[in-house]
């Protein structure tokens, strides 16, 4: 059945309780490639339980509600959806252990028209189970390629963050390993698109692709390294638009522009010279 605007907007998505500890933080960091050089003490702080730090982007897998768009009541052809945009706002630094609640809701649905798809905007609040305090606000845009023309109200698509036209102020190259997706999936996203060669080929890719949020996390690592001196408390927010997939084993180059506390960025797979994340914007503590 096609999307019914009012019904999709009112969809109740079950909340998720997530209890985690140092092992989960370490596994997530390993899934982004930290520890590639075991003698790099800046990275070691995120993959060794002694004086452990949690990556800011670990919030992206907290209270995660996988595959809610597969619910037939959405009217969405989930086999044709792709991750369009992602944002992360931290209200306090991510702890290395705790119990959180993830509550996801649909904020808006934009009908781009017949043959042009639809945009579903959702928001997840991650709160501390014990105190109820909001820890992170995560916003996602999902591009539903096969679901345009359902007759939803006309809405203007928000304009992306514009990157400066000058040369980048900082550039950071971070490698991914061939098995990166196999490790990253253990943090919650078990989509076979990132594992099974045949599944990837049927989806139109020559081989499994890296999770979009893994690419986002690598860009977050670059920001942490280049402008935050590996202090997780200095990265307050981060947002970007996914524009192309990355294949495990490629090197991700993050280009950054500093304008006070605002860092504009984009990330590209340098082996194919394709931009994987565009129109990026982060806020840091100077």
Token readout for 272 is: 């194919």
Query: What's the half-sphere exposure (Cβ side, CA atoms, 13 Å) at 65?
Result: 23
List Cα–Cα distances, 233 to 94, 111, 144, in angstroms.
Answer: 8, 38, 35
| In contact, 236 and 90? CB cutoff 8 Å | yes
Output the pTM of the full model: 0.95
**The pLDDT value given to residue 157:** 81
Contacts of 246 (CB under 8 A, 6+ apart): 176, 209, 210, 214, 215, 252, 269, 276
Superfamily of chain region 170-284: Hotdog Thioesterase (3.10.129.10)
Q: Using N-to-C axis directions, what is the helix angle for 212-227 and 22-31, rounded to 10°? A: 100
What are the beta bridge partners of residue 269?
Answer: 252, 274
| In contact, 60 and 94? CB cutoff 8 Å | no
CA distance 136 to 237: 9
Per-residue pLDDT of the chain (286 residues), as tens digits, is: 688 889 999 999 999 999 999 999 999 999 999 999 999 999 999 999 999 999 999 999 999 887 788 888 888 887 788 899 999 999 999 999 999 999 999 999 999 888 888 999 999 999 999 999 999 999 999 999 888 888 877 777 889 999 999 999 999 999 999 999 999 999 999 889 999 999 999 888 999 999 999 999 999 999 999 999 999 999 999 999 999 999 999 999 999 999 999 999 999 999 999 999 999 999 999 9
Phi, psi (degrees; rounded to nearest 5) at 181:
-65, -30
Query: What's the half-sphere exposure (Cβ side, CA atoms, 13 Å) at 8?
Result: 30
Topology match between the domains 5-144 and 170-284 = yes
Domain chopping of the chain, boundaries: 5-144, 170-284
Superfamily of chain region 5-144: Hotdog Thioesterase (3.10.129.10)
Angle at 171 between CA 165 and CA 174, to 5 degrees: 135
């Amino acid at each position: 059945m096609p999307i019914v605007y009012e019904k999709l907007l009112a969809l109740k998505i079950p909340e998720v309780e997530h209890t985690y500890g140092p092992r989960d933080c370490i596994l997530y960091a390993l899934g982004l490639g930290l520890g590639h050089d075991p003698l790099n003490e800046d990275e070691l702080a995120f993959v060794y339980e002694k004086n452990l730090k949690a990556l800011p982007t670990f919030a992206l897998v907290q209270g995660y509600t996988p595959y809610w768009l597969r619910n037939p009541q959405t009217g969405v052809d989930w086999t044709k959806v792709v991750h369009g945009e992602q944002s992360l706002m931290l209200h306090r630094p991510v702890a290395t252990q705790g119990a959180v609640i993830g509550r996801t809701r649909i904020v808006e649905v934009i009908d781009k028209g017949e043959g042009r798809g639809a945009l579903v905007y959702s928001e997840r609040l991650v709160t501390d189970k014990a105190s109820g305090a909001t820890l992170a606000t995560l916003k996602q845009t999902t591009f539903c390629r096969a679901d345009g023309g359902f007759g939803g109200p006309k809405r203007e698509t928000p304009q992306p963050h514009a990157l400066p036209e000058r040369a980048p102020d900082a550039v950071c190259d971070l490698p991914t390993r061939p098995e990166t997706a196999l490790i990253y999936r253990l943090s919650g996203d078990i989509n076979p698109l990132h594992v099974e060669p045949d599944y990837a080929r049927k989806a139109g890719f020559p081989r499994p692709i890296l999770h979009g949020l893994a690419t986002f996390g690598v860009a977050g690592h670059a920001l942490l390294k280049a402008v935050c001196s590996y202090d997780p408390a200095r990265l307050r927010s981060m947002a970007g638009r996914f524009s192309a997939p990355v294949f495990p084993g490629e090197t991700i180059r993050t280009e950054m522009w500093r304008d006070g506390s605002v860092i504009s960025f984009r990330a590209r797979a340098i082996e194919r010279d394709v931009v994987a994340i565009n129109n990026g914007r982060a806020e840091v503590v100077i």
